Structure 1
Amino acid sequence: MALDWVPASERPDLLADPVAAAVEKGALDLRVAAIDPDLADTAAFCDRYGVAMEDSANCVIVAGRRGGETRYAAVMVLAVHRADVNGVIRRHLDARKASFAPQAEAVELTGMEYGGITPIGLPADWPVLVDENVIRRPFVVIGSGVRRSKLALSGEALVAATGGEVLALTV
């Protein structure tokens, strides 16, 4: 099934509220396409819509803890890679311990649906860490904040849109 990509600014109904606000605020070159929400998980989405796994990037929310303080970051890696949460990411966050944020916590803090979380529209004080492999992609599909759609942009546009920091984040 083909995806019907349109400018995200034309379809705010396909975006989570924080994502729609970020799109409205900035001149972001994002495209959005409606999908079956039951197929939002990466493997099912790629299989159904014919998108290569290496053209799909996942956003994971990482919680880094040191003492009584918790710092959150969004981490973007291609679907074919695994984020090095306990190595590079933990050290970058200057955390004693780092882990994926619990699902309910990630949903509450981002204002987005689990399985659709995206780095677009996150709290301004959260760093966005983008794996170096993502930036090399001329076309990458990411979440839209909801399970019923996906966003597409280049890896470079993703970094520009989020103020992301490019690092080697995979194991």
Structure 2
Amino acid sequence: MPTPALAALDATGLPYRVIRHGPVTSLSEAAAVRGVAVPDVVKSIVVRRGPDDHLFVLTPGGRVISWPKLRALLGVSRLSMPDAATAKEVTGYERGTITPFGATTAWPVVADERLRGRTITLGAGEHGLSVAVDADAALASLHATVADVTDPEPTR
């Protein structure tokens, strides 16, 4: 039985490729098992604007949300990230499996502009399951707002 994410992708008619892999513990490991470059591993992050008001932010691997850029884009002064239980409640997915496809609520999507023109991989609703899809087609089907909303991940 397909996950809600795969069923939603099927409903869009977008071509995609399912990638099944075991648990991963890092971004570089996720890229390796998916057979892609680090920027092609997309993180789907749930952000809270207010009570019962969330959105998805899609960021390429190796980059993090720039909170000042995102706040400016959305015209708000405060944003936060919900805890794991709230993220699951508002999306239907556990952290590490979150995707805008098939979420329990079709929250707005903001995608970093660096995703354009790539084949990206996204979580598909289960641990160890992802999909590869054309970013431009996926962003269009999600009616995503595409903008510069990330910064390079800080080096440790």
**Cα RMSD (Å):** 2.0
Q: Which residue of 2 aligns with 1:80?
A: 62
CA apart distance, 1:136: 2.7
Other-structure match for 2:88: 107
Instruction: Indicate whether 1:61 and 2:34 are aligned.
Output: no
Structure 2 counterpart of 1:131, one-letter code? D
TM-score normalised by the chain length of structure 2: 0.84
Q: Is residue 127 of structure 1 aligned with residue 108 of structure 2?
A: yes
Hey, what's the Cα distance between the residues in 2 that align with 1:31 and 1:61?
24
The Cα shift of 1:49 comes to 4.3
Instruction: Detail structure 1 runs of 4+ shifted over 6 Å in the superposition.
Output: none
Kindly provide the CA deviation profile for residues 45-101 of structure 1, in whole angstroms up to 9, marking residues without a partner as x.
Answer: 223444210221111111113xxx4521100111111111x2122233333311222
1:64/1:90 contact within 8 Å kept: no
For residues 29 and 77 of structure 1, what CA distance do their matches in structure 2 show? 21
Cα distance change on mapping 1:41 and 1:90 into 2, 3 Å? same
Cα distance change on mapping 1:42 and 1:161 into 2, 3 Å? farther
In structure 2, what is the equivalent of residue 152 of structure 1?
132
Instruction: Report SS of the residue matched to 1:39.
Output: coil
Structure 1 residue runs of 5 or longer lacking an equivalent are: 1-11
Q: Aligned residue for 2:147?
A: 167
Letter matched to residue 72 of structure 2: R
CA offsets 1:113-153 (integer angstroms, 9 cap, x no match): 210111212322x110011100131x111110111211111
C-alpha deviations, 1:16-47, integer Å up to 9, x for none? x2x134134321222212111x2275332223
Q: Hey, what's the Cα distance between the residues in 2 that align with 1:93 and 1:63?
A: 12
Write the distance in 2 (CA, Å) between the matches of 1:108 and 1:57: 21
**Structure 2 gap ranges (5+):** 152-156
| 1:33 matches 2:23 | no
Structure 2 CA distance for partners of 1:142 and 1:41, relative to 1, 3 Å: farther
Once the two structures are TM-superposed, the CA of residue 158 in structure 1 deviates from its matched residue by 1.8
Counterparts of 2:80 and 2:14, CA distance in 1? 30
The answer on whether the counterparts of 1:73 and 1:127 sit within 8 Å (CA) in structure 2 is yes
Aligned to 1:5: none
